Amino acid sequence: MRIRTGGPADADEIMQLKNASWRAAYAGIVADEVLAGLSDEPSEGFVRGLSHRREHVITLVAEKGPNVIGFATVGWDRREATEAEAGPGCPGEVWAIYVHPDHWGRGAGTALMREGQRWLTDEALLPIRVWELVGNRVGRRFYERYGFAPDGERGEFELGGRAYPIERLALPKDRTVEER
């Protein structure tokens, strides 16, 4: 398995694996019609985001052979700062991390998180946080094994005209990449 920076050529595979992951992890949490209606076709905005390197954000992909099996996008904490305000000293956030369900439990998520943590640390975007859909047992187990813990912040995520509860988890500042 190899971790590298993602680009526009990865958009189709990223969307397909993200949707497969959503359908597996969010079944019973997110409305069935929302999961059934997910499009594997990447939006122009998504492809454009992978095409243009932005400061303080990166998308990483995990490859096994010729296939992309997972991805993570990390950057500044978007609830704490605007893109113009982002920079060293701003908290970091795992915007997204998904691995195709056929590859769960085989190290791709941990490798992506490790590289994402390394990148956020190098960018001085600390502490590192992630928002999780409440009830997502697969995600919660993964984050807790990595060292994340709830920090008390809660919110909502709008999807398909419905609000879903989310909870923020944070990685302790004193945890290093090498501890993983």
Domain boundaries, the chain: 2-128
How does residue 178 score in pLDDT terms, banded at 50, 70 and 90? Answer: low
The SS3 call for residue 41 is coil
- Indicate if the pLDDT at residue 25 is higher than 60: yes
Q: Quote the pTM value.
A: 0.93
How does residue 102 score in pLDDT terms, banded at 50, 70 and 90? Answer: very high
Q: How far apart are the first and last CA of the chain?
A: 17
Of 60, 111, 55, 106, nearest to 84 (Cα)? 55
Q: What is the pLDDT of residues 104-157, one digit of tens each?
A: 999 999 999 999 999 999 999 999 999 999 999 999 999 999 999 999 999 999
CB 97 within 8 A of CB 143: no
- CATH assignment of 2-128? 3.40.630.30
For the chain, the average pLDDT equals 93
